[in-house]
Amino acid sequence: MSLDFNVETFRGDYTFKNSAKAIKRFPFPFPEDSYMYSVNMEPHVPGAVGSVFEHLFDVDEHYVAEMRDRAQVLAEDPLRCQTLPHMELAGWDLLELIMESKARDYPQWFELHKDGDNWHWINKPLQIEQKFTFMDASTLPYGPMEYITRQTQGDFTLQDQRDDDLWIEAGMVTTQADWSLDFDIGMSFKQWHAPVPLAHQMNIFDRALKFLLKLQHGAPVRRFNWTMTVDALLDTSPENYPKWGPSKTTMTPETIGHRQHLRVELQTLHRLPRSNAIVFPIRCYLIRFEELVTVPKWARRLHRVVRDIPDELATYKGFLRNKPLMLDYLAQFDDGQPTSPGFGAD
Amino acid sequence: MTKTMFEPSITSRPVYGVLSPGVGSAHLFVADGEGADAVCDLFAKAEAAEMKAASHIIYMPGANGCDKTADLQALGVAQFYRAPSFASAQSRLAKVLADAHMGLQIYAAGTEGLMAQVAALAQAAGLPYEAVQMEHRGSLARRVQCVHCKGVTENVRLDPFHCSHCGLSLFVRDHFSRRLAAFQGVNIDAEDPGQVPASVERFK
């Protein structure tokens, strides 16, 4: 394995950690000292060099370890990756988008050579070399969506668009914040968001759906979402809830800085050219509290966000139980000083 | 028989109407338990008289023992079939849907689990979800998929309840999958193993 990538685990001994460089580029999701739902969508345009926005699909030091973790999840539960039959074309769209982006943005790691429909893909970090015929699934070891998302960080769902609605009809979901693809596949936009509290009454989903139905090819958008996770567990699935649920009860003032993680989802949305489907990559970034508090502005702000969040939201995000412990820990880093607007670390 | 009143729920849960005679070349009814009353009410309407010669009723008694076979037989439709259970009627229903011509009208009445399974079969046969008229009657017992082992437990009345497949104690969410024709059940003592609150009869 290349020195570019960490040797680490997201289960068992949890050796996951962020380097100083990874902490510096962490996508801190709070632009101000409080949090409430919003559509908060912005164009997914290239950002600063070195930031998670630099490229269309960010590949970071956790890449190889995350892909190994995904393979383990799929070996234990193949239902985490499903495609309804009419979604294969969207899978090819996605494969093309990712392969072209990665070969362009990370030529030291990925290569794509095309001779008509005869494609040759090289993924050096995962030591994969594949010659295949574009649009012929029999020439790949998996369907196109599964093939490429086994090599790409983040969860992915594919939405078909019809009847003025979006239908979640394919997905690769192994790093999810407690929702089940197997249960939700086939649902409309408002159906799969049904369990989210408060946001329906705020018309968040009406507005988001209206916006997304008009999403244009070549003009992707992005937003953040976030939650809290005990230990660096990527697979916080409802399927495995009995396995990871008890970890929430074992937190102490001594361990919380080390074991509690802020979990940030960088969600992007891209219109796909042939299928007219929308792909929704949900990229998960984890950071330990003790890593996060090395940035004074983030420590102050996270304390204020957690302190002021409505209990209903803390319950939905699954951290109400440990909120007092979190506040005790974070309060020591909040000197009451004002924070500057925006995400940046100052 | 009063029609069921539902409390407001989340947006994934279907809402149900009242069966009314549709215009079509053939009419397929699937009902369980008290759903028979919705079918009888429809045929009590004057405009439904002509439908009988082109109607096929598939009926199964409710899990609560409610059996209105005699009422439906008395309607005198072209085809009446009494099945002991939905599972046993499934292949017959799939055949009827596969053989259907344009203009088939589909009606489902009774429990949510029955209606959802009819709609899912119709969708699998290429019909849109909206093609199935639905009217809720009778029991509010739920059909619940265990999110952990994926097994479906029928006629869930208690919350929490034991998954009939893996045995975990599950609480019943309102989140509903039309594809699975089921509500979602999630382990209630995942964070505190063994601390299971007493079950209450939430779905009568």
Interchain CB contact of A185 with B (< 8 Å): yes
**Lookup result for tokens 């006629």:** B155
Residue A36 confidence (pLDDT): 80
pLDDT in tens, A99-120: 999 999 999 999 999 999 999 9
Beta-carbon contacts of residue B172 (< 8 Å; ≥ 6 apart): B142, B144, B156, B159, B160, B161, B183, B184, B185, B202, B203
Residue B10 confidence (pLDDT): 85
- Domain-ending residue, one of B118, B136, B154: B136
**Is residue B104 included in any domain, yes or no?**
yes
**Is residue B50 included in any domain, yes or no?**
yes
Residues B158 and B67 grouped into a single domain = no
Residues B33 and B112 grouped into a single domain = yes
A282 pLDDT exceeds 50?
yes
Interchain pair B148, A182: CB under 8 A: no
Residues B58 and B97 grouped into a single domain = yes
Interchain pair A183, B145: CB under 8 A: yes
Question: What value does the mean pLDDT take over residues A163-175?
Answer: 97
Residue A82 confidence (pLDDT): 98
Interchain CB contact of A219 with B (< 8 Å): no
- Angstrom distance (rounded) from CA A88 to CA B64: 44
Interchain CB contact of A186 with B (< 8 Å): yes
Residues of B in contact with A200 (CB under 8 A): 10-11
Question: What is the CATH number for B48?
Answer: 3.40.50.80
**Lookup result for tokens 């102490």:** A252
Q: Which of A77-81, A315-319, B85-89 has the lowest mean pLDDT?
A: A315-319
With CA atoms as reference, the chain B residue closest to A184 would be B177
Q: For residue B156, give its domain range.
A: 142-201
Query: Residue A55 CA to chain centroid, in angstroms?
Result: 15
With CA atoms as reference, the chain B residue closest to A321 would be B191
Residues B65 and B166 grouped into a single domain = no
Query: A104: distance to nearest CA of chain B, Å?
Result: 40
Residues B52 and B71 grouped into a single domain = yes
Residues of A in contact with B180 (CB under 8 A): 183
Residues B59 and B77 grouped into a single domain = yes
- Domain-ending residue, one of B95, B121, B136: B136
Tokens of A82: 């499903």
- Residue of B162, B171, B177 best to disrupt the A interface, most CBs of A under 10 A: B177
Residue A2 confidence (pLDDT): 52
Residues B128 and B39 grouped into a single domain = yes
Residues B105 and B160 grouped into a single domain = no
Tokens of A206: 């009406």
Interchain pair B11, A241: CB under 8 A: no
Q: How confident is the model at residue A1 (pLDDT cuts 50, 70, 90)?
A: very low
Residues of B in contact with A246 (CB under 8 A): 190-193
**Is residue B74 included in any domain, yes or no?**
yes
Name which residue leads in pLDDT, B9 or B150: B150
Bridge partners, A110 (sequence order): A123
Question: What value does the mean pLDDT take over residues A147-167?
Answer: 98
Contact pairs from chain A to chain B, CB under 8 Å: 69
Residues B85 and B163 grouped into a single domain = no
- Domain-ending residue, one of B117, B136, B155: B136
Instruction: Out of A223, A271, A274, A300, pick the active-site residue.
Output: A223
- Angstrom distance (rounded) from CA A40 to CA A266: 12
Interchain CB contact of A211 with B (< 8 Å): no
Do the Cβ atoms of A181 and A171 come closer than 8 Å?
Answer: yes
**Is residue B13 included in any domain, yes or no?**
no
pLDDT in tens, A232-262: 999 999 999 999 999 999 999 999 999 999 9
The rounded mean pLDDT for chain A is 95
B3 pLDDT exceeds 90?
no
With CA atoms as reference, the chain B residue closest to A185 would be B179
- Residue of B15, B146, B147 best to disrupt the A interface, most CBs of A under 10 A: B147
Q: Which helix (H) or strand (E) holds A71?
A: helix A63-76
Interchain CB contact of B168 with A (< 8 Å): yes
Residues B168 and B125 grouped into a single domain = no
Query: B180: distance to nearest CA of chain A, Å?
Result: 7
Bridge partners, B136 (sequence order): B110
**Is residue B96 included in any domain, yes or no?**
yes
ipTM entry? 0.91
Q: Compare CB distances from B186 to A194, A200, A238 and report the shortest one's residue.
A: A238
- Angstrom distance (rounded) from CA A133 to CA B168: 46
Residue A177 confidence (pLDDT): 87
Interchain CB contact of A78 with B (< 8 Å): no
Interchain pair B192, A246: CB under 8 A: yes
Do the Cβ atoms of B195 and B157 come closer than 8 Å?
Answer: no
Do the Cβ atoms of B108 and B114 come closer than 8 Å?
Answer: yes
Q: Give the strand pairing for A42-43 and A221-230.
A: antiparallel
Share above pLDDT 90 across residues of chain A, in percent, rounded to a whole number: 90
Residue B2 confidence (pLDDT): 47
Query: B193: distance to nearest CA of chain A, Å?
Result: 8
Interchain pair B184, A190: CB under 8 A: no
Residues B107 and B132 grouped into a single domain = yes
Range 109-148 of B in CB contact (< 8 A) with A: 145, 147-148
pTM for this model (two decimals): 0.93
Question: What value does the mean pLDDT take over residues A316-320?
Answer: 92
What's the number of domains chain B is made of?
2
Question: Within 13 A of A168's CA, how many CA atoms are on the CB side?
Answer: 27
- What backbone phi and psi angles, to 5 degrees, belong to B172? -105, 120
Q: Compare CB distances from B150 to A182, A194, A246 and report the shortest one's residue.
A: A182
**Is residue B40 included in any domain, yes or no?**
yes
pLDDT in tens, A219-235: 999 999 999 999 999 99
**Is residue B159 included in any domain, yes or no?**
yes
Other beta carbons within 10 Å of A145 = 27
- Angstrom distance (rounded) from CA A262 to CA A329: 13
Residues B32 and B132 grouped into a single domain = yes
**A222 catalytic residue (yes or no):** no
**Is residue B108 included in any domain, yes or no?**
yes
A288 pLDDT exceeds 70?
yes
